[in-house]
Chains A and B, each alone.
Chain A
Amino acid sequence: MSTKGDKERIELLQGTLDLLILRTLRLGPTHGHAIAKAIEFTSDSVLQVEQGSLYPALHRLIKRGWISVEDGTSENNRRAKFYRLTAKGKRQLVVETSKWNKLAAAIAQVLRPAPQEGKP
């Protein structure tokens, strides 16, 4: 029996990854490897996602209808799945971004008065 705590932690990670994927795909449809690279690159390699965890996240987003998938050819002439942001996904990205900004602002607010306690 999995405990609640476990689940919540995964939820949080998933949510963040979802946001990053959506944000990446806003620049145009691309394949899984390119998404991983883009996240790595745009976050200056700070956010190192285990690349495999991208795939459950991608499929979750497909299931929710936020992205769609199509066949395509990658830059090195490989057949690959291309993922594309849907209209619904674009709307969701706006929602998620503003949610994230609020959360970030709130956390920043909490951390500001006692910065010395913040870092482990």
Chain B
Amino acid sequence: MTRRERMLHDLDEDIRGHIETETQDNIAQGMAPDEARRAAMLKFGNVTRVTEDTRDVWSWVWVEQLLQDLRYGLRMIWKFPGFTLVAVLTLALGIGANTAIFSVVYAVLLRPLPYRDASRLIVMNETTPRVGTLSVSYLNFLDWRKQSTAFAQMATVHQVGFNLTGVARPEVIRGLAVSPEFLAMVGVEPLTGRDFTAQEGNAGTEPVLILSYEMWQSHFGSDPSAVGKTMSLDGRPFTIVGVLPARFRWLDKMDVIEPLGVLLTNNTEVMERGNRGESIVVGRLAPGIGLAQARAEMDGIAARLAKEYPAADEGYGVEYKPIRDSFVGDSRPAILILFGAVLFVLLIACANVANLFLARGAGRTREIALRLAFGASRGRIVRQMLAESLIMAILGGTLGLAFAEGGIHAMARWIPSNMLSGTEVNLNGAVFAFVAALVIVAAFVFGLAPAVHSTKTDVQSDLKESGRTSSASAAQKRLGGALVVAEISLALILLTGAGLMMQSLYRLRAVDPGFRTERVLTMSLSLPDQQYGNDTAVLNFWQRALDGVRALPGVESAAVGTAVPLGGEHWRTDVVLEGMGELRPGDYPHPDMHIVSSDYWTTLGISLVRGRWFTAADDEKAPKVGIINALMARRLFAGSDPVGKRFMVGHRAKEEDWITIVGVAGDTKLYGLENPARLEVYLPFRQAPFGDMNVIVKSSVGSAALTSAVRAVVNAIDKDQPIAETATMEQLVSDSVATRRVTLVLLGLFSGLALLLAAIGIYGVISYSVAQRTQEIGIRVALGAQRSSLMSMILKQGLRTALLGIGIGLLAALGLTQLMKSLLFGIGATDPLTFISVAATLLFVALAASYLPARRAMRVDPLVALKYE
């Protein structure tokens, strides 16, 4: 029962009681019962009216009025179908674009992470000034965990990869090796099966794993009896102990989780303090502790460790990131810029619709004046007009949702998944709430000014005027003009942003990456230690694979290498030059190391600067040789020829470890086109056998056919060896600029839309003003005004509006383009050429949009115009 019902429930009884009491009083004063009752009734008044009046106290007058207003709004909307169609379409474009982009914003930046109390989870890496972010040494992690009190819990998370074997088609699967407390710490329970036990964190534990939900679906058909079965990873049987819930996701795509103990078993490398593999540490802040406090404590721990273990830890600090930031990555500025852009588009759309309402409001001046004269309050009229705006906005929002639904599907296919942090973009409750809010706000933005404006009429004069030619007031013209000025400014800002992005992308694609991409395919293979325990086995595999691939039809050259430019994996280590003095740890050159076969450079089209490439003769029996890149030659051998000089990988000082430089290779953009070249060292694969390599093939055959041909070659050597990460070099280059490309295309789309809407806005306002001035123009013509001067009069009006908008827009753009600095490349945020050409474009569009109405003004027939009444 509502309060209203409760209150009115006993009203009748209360009133009856009242009258009865009065009757009794009257009888007590000596009246006859009938008379006493009649007198009481008379004194009380009309019972029905009293009841109704009391009910009215509790009734929702405003709801009834709102319904009335909405009905009125609906009538108006049916009355002007053309007007409605234009307004609704304009709004739908604006709202639809906003919905689509907001769904991206929500998915990437706002959607709650699937962890308990995620804001308390901090991701930690090690860091050095020279290299930047690094993985965390396992022994350091143990000391952190032991000494820290600011973190209630801490877990290490290693990235691991496996070859899934014993199946029809072997494949590479990705996994995490985690401290056994990890899942409990982030607050995730297995969907079925069990979590890891504390013992499974210790070396020597039996291999077990928990499947990701996707892996469970794709490899076990969601069969609950998968728990207890075994999977053969790298030739070892792992027992499946659990399945993760579908909502679980991690920073990188992953298929399985194993307990840390499995990783530690027989692993001497991880027990070296200086070994920083591929791991991060996740900690949960202790209750009441902020990140700043935790940081202070951890920095102290790191400083102590650096003193205690200078060889491994000197110069290393800790880097902290809330887990949300780790998920978002680098795409945040691009996404926020697009969100800002799309809001601008909506503002422009609102301005256009407001102008439509203003123009129509002028036609309704008489109606409104009449209603005011009959005593309607201004507030009520404004409310009614707002109700009409609201209906319009709801229609626009509904159609916009349909646009967005289509747009999201297109975007999801086309936006690179790393820009989306691997999350799914869809229309969901949060997006619907956003659209609802947008609809209401938009209704006010475009509805309020015209509504308030329409009631500011002079009742007397408006009623006298005939409805048709009632001239627009000066205030209305100013408001309409101001709206168009705003539209032009907003469009100019968007166009400037798009222009700067376009030039950045163009300049980025023009950067010489140092390698050729045409017809080059790469794929990655990882030989498990279990089957390839010794160097001979590894070398045999690679040699047979190379020979087999080279023999394939259409293959021009083939090579193996530990890294591919722009690819994911890189390995760096200290080198010592012969004759170099003892340096402090951290001061040694720290180049990217490549282990390659002799055709690596020719296959990738990297140029030879000096000396020679490796040959088949540089094998395990030959003297050790190496090739450095041009930057390293310049930086470390300034002025002298590095060929013939010697260096050593790491700090071991044994005579046989010296490597003689035999050549200098051109620099490559290993880490993205926008990043400077780094020091690089190449070693021949026969002298440094390595199990994880990329096979790189230059061929005239299409990539799909080539991939299966290479797979056949590999599986003829080892039927359990999977191939992963197949990509053409062109794809890698294109992916490396994908975020920029997506930003550019969307920004281009939005600014095009903005330009179109602004042009329509100018056209609308000028046409309307010409229509209003038909009579005046007719008189001017009759009095002998030159038609050309009439035209220039109208064009000047358009020009004034445009110039004002462009001026304001340029100033605003100067400030706002600073926000997109991180997305620009090779161009300043205030590039004058971009600003000038965008301003010129807008000016041209504005003049073109004014030209049509101006020509109409020129053709006004004075006779017709004067008879117009």
A residues sitting closer than 8 Å to B (CB atoms) are: 1, 3-4, 31-33, 36-37, 50-53, 55-56, 58-60, 62-63, 69, 74, 76, 78-81
Contacts and interface: CB of A to CB of B under 8 A. Distances in A.
Secondary structure dominating the interface of A: helix
Given A1-B374, A51-B44, A53-B45, A80 B50 contact: no
Contacts of A76: 21, 24
Contacts of A1: 374-376
Given A4-B375, A50-B43, A58-B54, 9 more contacts: A33-B17, A33-B21, A52-B15, A55-B11, A55-B53, A56-B53, A69-B7, A76-B24, A78-B21
Contacts of B578: none
B214 interface: no
Interface string B10-50: 11011101101110110000000000000000011111011
A58 to B, nearest CB: 8
A52 B44 contact: yes
A74 B46 CA distance: 24
Contacts of B374: 1
A74 B50 contact: no
Contact of A51 (B11, B18, B53, B57): B18
Contact of A33 (B11, B22, B51): B22
B582 interface: no
Contacts of A51: 18, 22, 43-45
Contacts of A78: 17, 20-21
Given A1-B376, A50-B45, A78-B17, A56 B56 contact: yes
A56 B375 contact: no
A79 B58 contact: no
Contacts of B7: 59, 62, 69
Ranked 10 nearest A-B pairs via Cβ = A52-B45, A52-B50, A56-B53, A50-B45, A59-B57, A33-B21, A33-B18, A51-B44, A52-B44, A56-B54
B54 A55 contact: yes
B17 A56 contact: no
Contacts of B376: 1
A117 B179 CA distance: 97
B213 to A, nearest CB: 54
A80 B14 contact: yes
Interface of B: 7, 10-11, 13-15, 17-18, 20-22, 24-25, 43-47, 49-51, 53-54, 56-58, 374-376
Nearest to A2: B375
A76 B21 CA distance: 8
Contact of A60 (B11, B43, B46, B57): B57
A37 B11 CA distance: 19
Contacts of A33: 17-18, 21-22
B375 A55 contact: no
Contacts of A69: 7
A21 to B, nearest CB: 14
Contacts of A53: 45, 50, 53
Nearest to B49: A52
B54 A74 contact: no
A74 B21 contact: yes
Counting chain B CB atoms within 10 Å of each CB, which of A31, A50, A52, A62 scores highest?
A52
A50 B15 CA distance: 13
B22 A56 contact: no
B17 A55 contact: no
24 contacts: A31-B14, A31-B17, A31-B18, A32-B14, A32-B18, A36-B18, A51-B18, A52-B44, A52-B45, A52-B47, A52-B49, A55-B54, A58-B54, A59-B7, A60-B57, A63-B58, A74-B17, A74-B21, A76-B21, A79-B13, A79-B17, A80-B14, A81-B10, A81-B14
A80 B17 contact: yes
